[in-house]
Copies of this chain bind each other. A is one copy, B any other.
């Protein structure tokens, strides 16, 4: 692979939601599986500088998740949420909270869409409680963490059986 596919963040200024899309050189089912399987998810989620440990994983409609990410200095960042809807290979609706900013919860509606040629697109409609929270997440390097994470996901998809 020459270059990686870009993370496209479509945010209207002054609105509290963003559409984040990313294409993959693999079918939607493979990308979905990397969101469903904690052993795969743990490897790719977040930037390369952080080590991820899953502390709760109940991947079903009505279930939930929690994971901790540790940096080289031993600082721990924890994230958790609940799965509102899971439709296999197609749709994932979940809440998301960084425990360092308690009660600032966002809602992600993630659609997994097949494209021609065995490719796919993931579109995440990410809804924040206010414009300020979205802008804060952008400023905190949300896009950077997603880009590196998806590059790791590319590697998982390239190596799959």
Q: Which residues on A are within 8 Å of B, measured CB to CB?
A: 14-17, 62, 64, 81-85, 91, 93, 95, 97, 103, 105-107, 109, 125, 127-131
Contacts and interface: CB of A to CB of B under 8 A. Distances in A.
A9 to B, nearest CB: 17
A82 B109 CA distance: 14
A85 B103 contact: yes
A129 B81 CA distance: 17
A127 B103 contact: no
A159 B67 CA distance: 45
Which 8 residue pairs spanning A and B have beta carbons closest together?
Answer: A82-B82, A84-B95, A62-B64, A107-B107, A82-B84, A93-B105, A127-B129, A84-B105
12 contacts: A16-B16, A16-B17, A62-B64, A81-B84, A82-B83, A84-B97, A91-B103, A93-B105, A95-B95, A103-B109, A105-B107, A109-B129
